[in-house]
Chain A
Amino acid sequence: AQKVTQAQTEISVVEKEDVTLDCVYETRDTTYYLFWYKQPPSGELVFLIRRNSFDEQNEISGRYSWNFQKSTSSFNFTITASQVVDSAVYFCALRVPWGSSNTGKLIFGQGTTLQVKP
């Protein structure tokens, strides 16, 4: 069975602190895709990153970085020097591979609410 666990329900930090959001996934497939989405208070879901299972290189985009480790089935997300505008709910998601009963389905974690205080 596929599953995504975001154990941190809520995190509160002060502006300029670094913060890491954890994501642990379960799947028996050798080919899979992982995603991070941001849901700000306005409600829309904003795509942040996609990673396939064959690419374990860490990625950095500005203040955002992602650490993908297949050995621990984790895909953690770090925000460096957090800002108030980073306050949002962050979702990690796993994509079910083609051929299963729910093609294209994204399995979402429960989300982590990040509050960045000034």
Chain B
Amino acid sequence: NAGVTQTPKFRVLKTGQSMTLLCAQDMNHEYMYWYRQDPGMGLRLIHYSVGEGTTAKGEVPDGYNVSRLKKQNFLLGLESAAPSQTSVYFCASSYRRNNEQFFGPGTRLTVL
């Protein structure tokens, strides 16, 4: 099993550009999450999904959109990137809501 994978690993954007980060898991997990990690801020939840076709806002959702069209995929979109969105983005998944979350390798995004 590949576990949780993320595409791309690195990306540089200009302010105003858009992009989509892809997260895929092959563990048949129901729950999926997107976090961002910033120095001194720890990890913060952006959006999450409790199953195929569902999404919900986390604690820092502004400027991001998500979709969960297939159970194994969770997409994070930035419609108009801003320098404040420069961060490392982690996707995670868990089998049930109380189970441990398994994380992907992260995507390092820089917005100039």
A104 contacts B42, CB within 8 Å? no
Q: B77 contacts the other chain (Cβ, under 8 Å)?
A: no
B100 contacts A104, CB within 8 Å? no
Q: A64 contacts the other chain (Cβ, under 8 Å)?
A: no
A108 contacts B106, CB within 8 Å? no
A111 contacts B42, CB within 8 Å? yes
A44 contacts B103, CB within 8 Å? yes
A47 contacts B101, CB within 8 Å? yes
The number of residue pairs between A and B whose CB atoms lie closer than 8 Å in the complex comes to 58
- In the complex, which residues of chain B have a beta carbon less than 8 angstroms from the beta carbon of A105? 33, 45, 48, 58-59
Nearest chain A CB to B9 CB, angstrom units: 9
B59 contacts A102, CB within 8 Å? yes
- In the complex, which residues of chain A have a beta carbon less than 8 angstroms from the beta carbon of B45? 102, 105-106
Type the 1/0 row for A71-97, where 1 means its CB is closer than 8 Å to any CB of B.
Answer: 000000000000000000001000100
Q: A110 contacts the other chain (Cβ, under 8 Å)?
A: yes
Q: What's the Cα separation between A46 and B101 when bound, in Å?
A: 10
Nearest chain A CB to B25 CB, angstrom units: 14
Known: A45-B90, A102-B59, A103-B97. A108 touches B105 (CB 8 A): no
B88 contacts A47, CB within 8 Å? no
Known: A105-B59, A110-B40, A110-B42. A43 touches B106 (CB 8 A): yes
Type the 1/0 row for A34-54, where 1 means its CB is closer than 8 Å to any CB of B.
Answer: 010100000111110010100
B88 contacts A43, CB within 8 Å? yes
Known: A103-B48, A103-B97, A104-B94. A47 touches B42 (CB 8 A): no
B59 contacts A44, CB within 8 Å? no
B31 contacts A47, CB within 8 Å? no
Known: A43-B88, A110-B40. A35 touches B50 (CB 8 A): no
A-B contact pairs, 11 of them (CB 8 A): A43-B108, A44-B104, A44-B106, A45-B90, A47-B100, A50-B99, A98-B98, A102-B59, A103-B56, A106-B43, A106-B101
Q: Which residues of A contact B (CB under 8 A)?
A: 33, 35, 37, 43-47, 50, 52, 91, 95, 98, 102-106, 108-111
* Extra contacts besides A44-B104, A45-B92 (4): CB < 8 Å: A44-B105, A91-B42, A108-B43, A109-B42
